[in-house]
Structure 1
Amino acid sequence: MERGEEIMMDVKSAEEAKQDVAYSTALKELIFQLADDDFLISFRGSEWLGLAPHIEEDVAFSSITQNTMGHAFMFYQLLEDLGEGEIDVLAHERHSDMRRNGIYLEKRNGDGNYLDEPYYDWALTVVRNFLYETFKKVKLEAVTKSSYKPLANIAGKVLMEQPYHLAHWKIWMKQLLNSTEEARERIEARLNEAWEEFGDVLEYGSKATEMEHFGLIMGEDELKERWLNEVSKTIENLPSGSLGKKYGSGREGEHTEDLDQALATLSEVYMSDKEAIW
């Protein structure tokens, strides 16, 4: 298929998607990636509550994090509608090897933990959220044209909030890159680190061919090109070399101990009483 060529596919409903096994498998894989990405990065954001650089940022980041968790909920809801199980089970009971989030998104904010001397790095948070929100914008825009109508509709709803998130992190990136020498060096160091680890976020995993074939989303190469173009509008001097996958591919179920730590913390209250009504 030529780059940019539109795929003419019949728009499918939930019931129609369930009846086509190959289509349904690729669709669920894509939605799990969308849901797990938002779920993990929103958790890492929540760990900054009370620790952000100033009170205004604490309020703003908390709001962004809450919205992002809401986006994850909507994607998990789509999976529940497709027969993958209840939302709480999908969010809290799946083992790490079943998760499809990009590995870079599960990375700890820094040394220590939230309740005991959290030595977190704001430069990492700014770089990670800027790169991710740029990626999310491009991916959601592609998904609004998806052949699966319920997913396209949700993507449209999320895009009503997401541009404000991206604008927030663009401002932080620009300010720090043009601030003190130390601030610029810290951001550039984290950008170089991200360039070694962000590669799998831009991939679709084992069902990439099927996702494009069924018109669920544009191809990987085009998505990556659009992401790079968007990132370069804010960062003039991007790191040299190709984007790497230093720790493997989260899209293939490969993860680090950081994900285990995140899931244990996220699910602590839920696991204490699964039958509770919230």
Structure 2
Amino acid sequence: MAPVVSKPAEVALHPGYREVVVQFLTELADDELTLGHRDSEWLGLAPDIEGDIAFSSIAQDEVGHAAFCFDRIAELTGQEADVLAFARSAAERRNARLLERENGDWAETIVRHYLYDTFDRLRLQALVESSYRPLAEGAVKMLREEYYHRLHMQTVLARLGRGGEARERVERALYALADEVGSLFAGSLQDARLTDLRILRASGNDIASAWCEQVAAELEDWGLPVPAGLRTVRPAADGRTVHGAALQQLLSEMAEVYHTDPQATW
């Protein structure tokens, strides 16, 4: 992650506004970096060459999105992007707990990515007219890339759901992950200041409602079950603040090179 060399006018934002932007950016960055790392763990291990190539590209995109957000936080706070990405403890991370889970089998990975990509698309769409212009402009670019991420997951999920053992694995994954979905909608999405300050143009409840409607409709189209936890989402109060052992393992592996020389520019 290259150091930030310029600071836009937004660094002079009102402290209350800046606080909300930084909180939201931190969640977005931690989501993308966490999932990007989990995606990278499939490289060379995916069940087919299509999956291997797709996850290689998707992992790079997600980490790139995280880098963009960490750079914006660095501009607003004076912290270093590398420190934000690699040196914070698990207790300081604000990713949705759903994303830190170990990958499990291929079906679970695809289901989780589909659930997240649907959420992320709605979140980014609510940002394209954000009052914080750097984020609005970044959201436009990220949306173009996330479109293909979601399309890939839709295609693979529909194919896996056609029958046999693959379908059974998909169904198990849907029920297993339904309890963790509330973590996506936790944190700053429950802060009314996001919409009051027009940083986000849709409330967390609006995004959750649209997410449930879209996920239920698509799963039904593919003939897959829709667990109750996917029809009605309840934000988990600790969904972005309480993490499991899986996150510590992920951070130890992800930051191993960084910790060999924290003063280096990676």
Letter in 2 for 1:98: E
In the TM superposition, what is the alpha-carbon distance from 1:206 to its structure 2 partner?
Answer: 8.1
- Please give the root-mean-square deviation of Cα atoms over the aligned residues, in Å: 1.9
| Distance in 2 separating the partners of 1:45 and 1:61 | 6
| Distance in 2 separating the partners of 1:142 and 1:98 | 26
Native 8 Å contact 2:189 2:203 kept in 1: no
Native 8 Å contact 2:30 2:66 kept in 1: yes
Q: Which residue of 1 aligns with 2:32?
A: 38
Q: Which residue of 2 aligns with 1:232?
A: 216
| Distance in 2 separating the partners of 1:84 and 1:255 | 27
Letter in 2 for 1:249: D
Alignment of 1:81-100 (within 5 A): 81-100=75-94
**Moved >3 Å (runs of 4+):** 13-19, 204-207, 241-246
Alignment of 1:68-217 (within 5 A): 68-110=62-104, 121-180=105-164, 182-205=165-188, 208-217=191-200
Normalising by the residue count of structure 2, what TM-score does the alignment of the two structures yield? 0.89
Q: Which residue of 1 aligns with 2:51?
A: 57
Q: Which residue of 2 aligns with 1:4?
A: none
Native 8 Å contact 1:99 1:250 kept in 2: no
Q: Deviations over 1:231-254 (max 9, x none)?
A: 1342014112444678x6243x21
| Distance in 2 separating the partners of 1:254 and 1:14 | 33
Normalising by the residue count of structure 1, what TM-score does the alignment of the two structures yield? 0.86
Contiguous gaps of at least 5 residues in structure 1? 1-12, 111-120
Relative distance call for 1:64 and 1:177 in structure 2 (3 A) is: same
SS in 2 for 1:234: helix
| Distance in 1 separating the partners of 2:98 and 2:190 | 20
| Distance in 1 separating the partners of 2:78 and 2:111 | 33
Q: Is the helix fraction higher in 1 or 2?
A: 2
| Distance in 1 separating the partners of 2:72 and 2:265 | 21
SS in 1 for 2:264: coil
| Distance in 2 separating the partners of 1:249 and 1:101 | 11
| Distance in 2 separating the partners of 1:275 and 1:165 | 34
| Distance in 2 separating the partners of 1:142 and 1:245 | 18
| Distance in 2 separating the partners of 1:210 and 1:137 | 21
Contiguous gaps of at least 5 residues in structure 2? 1-6
- The alignment of Structure 1 onto Structure 2 pairs a total of residues equal to 253
Q: Deviations over 1:126-153 (max 9, x none)?
A: 1110001111111000011211111100
In the TM superposition, what is the alpha-carbon distance from 1:276 to its structure 2 partner?
Answer: 2.6
